[in-house]
Amino acid sequence: MKYRTLGRTGWNVSAVSMGCWGIGGQWGPVEEKQAVDTIRAALDAGVNLFDTADAYGMGQSEFYTGKALKAVRSEVYIATKAGNWGRRYNDAPQLNSIYSIINCCHASLYRLGTDYIDLYQCHVGTPEHPEIFVEAFELLKKEGKIREYAISTNDLNSLIALDARGGCASCQINYSILNRGAEKDILPYCREHNIGVLLRGPIAQGLLVDKFTAETRFDDIVRQKWNPDGNQREDFLEKLEKVAALRRLVPEGSSMLDLALQFVLANPAVTCPIPGMKTPEQARSNAAAADGELDEATLKAIDEICAPAG
């Protein structure tokens, strides 16, 4: 495993880290043993940053993450988020006071079984009152409940607002071969201002693992939009065509997964992708992708299929 510095924090984090949304149950059921075994397999492969959120399975992901990491708590970085609790169930939280965010933090600390969170993130992409998050985060940091704070967004103005006091350590950005919009403004901004970048969606919700076809049907609540009666069916089929073209670029002895993760790692603004992992096998294969890199010819060929943001 290779390691990279997370922006202003000075932390050395694994070049491929673990996204823990998948073990929250919203991508299909995951038992506790499977979740714990997956996290421990990632640990064994050199992963040292684990990203979760209170909204992932309504706390289930945080509970599993905390349990799996309890014995090595001081050796890892735990990132979690506040602001989306219950949103997928049409019960969005009221975020009109710093105390609502502070209460969310206390609840996350309890579920994680820890007395501090390394990286606490705003989980609202375009917060109506970003100053409330900043004030709450600064207070939590002063109290030692969190070490650093951040935001998960692709909106540059929201990132700037969260960094109003110069304390936003990182930004979690949705970015992949199939979704390159962040190259236009937010990724260059993060690089210029030494803001760490965690990447969600680096394998495009599984599309870039190259295991789906037009006949694939999805049962999870996240990807039902791609089914024949879903509102993003056409987009799904167009992306399948691009994946088929990308398949020809995979070097011998490598995989589409490697291509996807090594592509995002080639961007100088990126600290680490945080692909989802639901099994020990997925944890090991995701982590192994950090060991390789794409040559310039392959990167240029990718640009021909999936054009850079302009």
Q: Mind telling me the catalytic residues?
A: 56
Tell me the CA end-to-end span of the chain in Å, nearest whole number.
33
**Residue 172: strand pairing partners:** 152, 198
Cβ atoms 126, 151 nearer than 8 A: no
Q: How open is the CA angle 294-20-101, to the nearest 5 degrees?
A: 120
**Looking at residue 304, what DSSP letter applies?**
H
Cβ atoms 11, 255 nearer than 8 A: no
User: Strand pairing of 117-122 and 49-51?
Assistant: unpaired
Cβ atoms 280, 38 nearer than 8 A: yes
- SS3 sequence, 119-143? EEEECCCCCCCHHHHHHHHHHHHHC
List of residues 6+ apart from 285 with CB closer than 8 A: 255, 257
SS3 57: coil
The candidate with the shortest Cα–Cα distance to 47, out of 290, 299, 265, 296, is: 290
- In angstroms, the CA 15 to CA 270 distance is 9
- In angstroms, the CA 257 to CA 263 distance is 10
